[in-house]
Structure 1
């Protein structure tokens, strides 16, 4: 009986393994995928890398494509829907499909530029706008040294109506309102909000302060590293909450911009220790952002009804920097916010204090 049971178990395991092998497919370019439906993405990925991301750079188009994934997906509110005021939203492509409406929302200022750059690529391929926006973000991030290999799904239906206004958090929003907005959109915890903000390590601002376009949020905007979490903890000065500087905090690094919301989240008792935990912890940065991005990218959808095509995403380059203080700064310049754990001791870059260069425009 024991031998018979063992034989049955072995045969069952072989059937499962054989089924898994049957489901795998080799696309025309030789890429092996777990589901043959994902082969349709191979030419889309090639088009993205060649014609949007300049052959695989971690530059402005990557920053803006990643920003667009968030601005599309977060535009969902079960609380609004429950009141019968609005349904739908989430990662459904509405921000591009209803560009004339959603790009006029104050929080979406400037996203029309990347929408217009992506549109010709979408038109060349058999893919929904909803799927394309999230795919472009994941492929772009994978060009950045130190980034995680993000998950990609296809099968989202395109939006039939625009997302509601006032669902995208803004730099001058309070921590209370930001946490509440994320909780409403998808049940995101405070820790997941901090993880999603790791996207600012490869980001720059063009419209927060129009007088200084392309201003990065940390000193290494071409690297997916932990510098953002270090440099937001440096002492800074809040600008007045009016005019072009609304939502902006002065950074001690010339040429670097700090969002008011990032500054406050880095210092709030609900998020400060989680924020600090990313400092010099590349592995956590990668895993936490990967998990939070996956959750965001399927907002408004049942993940079990989508097709996992994560194996079309290239392996990102290895991390290319070590956590450090910029030249002329040290632990003495940190505004300690986590009450339970000291800020890590880090080396300081040698040499004179230098300015952070703006991110070149596309």
Structure 2
């Protein structure tokens, strides 16, 4: 936590979705390789290159997953009654406070990885901008994920987020929907942002010894498999930790299911939206991207920000993204919760059941300068 201590002293309705600057006149940046519609964006291209090569190492791995989680935990820290700055970077600048919040357990890992890069590039981006940039860039490391717009110009945060604003996996469905609803998110948008982010995610310190255990069979690609796996009938942890932490075992060996995901997949207010994303890759990516962009503007005035979307690398197409049933499983193993639509016809994977491998934990290759 050496970095986190240092960072505490460092106070620093757009139509979506696919970023397309082809119709905008752009000028060549001084590096002779990049072009931008706004010259202020030129300074961001080296930042992107640095974090792609040295933070994410060109992989949809642990650091990329963590950066996306950090984007959400920072942005949701705002309430019309309790206050907070939203997507302002307070989770980094005031980490000594916000990392004590139970919902932020495990966030210190990604802050330790990402923090030196934030400090290195603090002359270009505020903490809020950097977290949003890292989240957007993390997505395009994952095949199938959307390329979302990026805006810069957020001022430095002035205070820590109030506590209890980040939804937890142990929350009931009404609490989760009300929390999102208070900042303008519909139940359908909640399903999109939560389900989409968990398609490339895994357990992170929520249950001891379960770090890196994925939430679905394909944590290295952004696809709709999560919407199938969460609906499969599972079993509870025998040691009781699952009930306490909000996680339970699933029918897919080597994965865990968040209690909150299970509720979203089965509650009448959200079940049909959850099911509607199965094998609907484009629909899911579009809805997720729109929700993440909406998160990025919480607490911010979009009209005071600069559109630097061209700095985000191209998205990676998903080659084999069809959702499937695990070996030996069929629609009979699905806990059907949507009465308005038939569950899609899916192929069952051949062969004996296998165990999904844990997500390899990040090994930093940072070339970032240490904080002074």
The 1:29/1:179 distance shift into structure 2, 3 A limit, reads: farther
After TM superposition, the score normalised by the length of structure 2 is 0.87
Alignment partner, residue 351 of structure 1: 351
Alignment partner, residue 40 of structure 1: 43
Distance of 1:57 and 1:128 partners within structure 2? 25
Alignment partner, residue 11 of structure 2: none
Alignment partner, residue 166 of structure 1: 164
SS at match of 1:205: coil
- What residue ranges of structure 2 are gaps of 5+ in the alignment? 1-22, 363-372
CA shift for structure 1 position 213: 1.5
Alignment partner, residue 57 of structure 1: 59
Query: Match for 2:101 among 61, 84, 105?
Result: 105
The 1:29/1:138 distance shift into structure 2, 3 A limit, reads: farther
Alignment partner, residue 257 of structure 1: 256
Distance of 2:206 and 2:341 partners within structure 1? 32
Distance of 1:107 and 1:242 partners within structure 2? 20
Distance of 2:146 and 2:332 partners within structure 1? 31
CA shift for structure 1 position 326: 1.7
**What count of residue pairs does the alignment treat as equivalent?**
334
**Equivalent pair of 1:134/1:297 in contact (CA under 8 Å):** yes
Kindly report which structure 2 residues correspond to 1:260-299, keeping only aligned pairs within 5 A, or say none: 260-299=259-298
Distance of 2:199 and 2:229 partners within structure 1? 10
Structure of greater relative contact order (alpha carbons < 8 Å, 6+ residues apart): 2
CA shift for structure 1 position 320: 2.7
Q: Deviations over 1:93-133 (max 9, x none)?
A: 00010111100100000101111211211122221111000
CA shift for structure 1 position 245: 4.7
SS at match of 1:266: helix
After TM superposition, the score normalised by the length of structure 1 is 0.89
Distance of 1:312 and 1:183 partners within structure 2? 31
CA shift for structure 1 position 20: 5.4
Structure of higher CA gyration radius: 1
1:150 counterpart = 2:152: no
CA shift for structure 1 position 209: 1.2
1:216 counterpart = 2:214: yes
SS at match of 1:121: helix
SS at match of 2:257: strand
CA shift for structure 1 position 308: 1.2
Distance of 1:104 and 1:20 partners within structure 2? 45
CA RMSD of aligned residues (A): 1.6
SS at match of 1:258: strand
The structure richer in helix per residue is: 1
**Equivalent pair of 1:209/1:245 in contact (CA under 8 Å):** no
- What residue ranges of structure 1 are gaps of 5+ in the alignment? 1-18, 81-86
1:323 counterpart = 2:319: no
**Equivalent pair of 1:210/1:244 in contact (CA under 8 Å):** no
Bigger Cα displacement from structure 2, 321-330 vs 212-221: 321-330
Distance of 2:223 and 2:204 partners within structure 1? 21
Q: Deviations over 1:120-166 (max 9, x none)?
A: 11122221111000100110110111111011110001211100000
Q: Which consecutive segments of 4 or more residues in structure 1 shift more than 3 A? A: 237-245
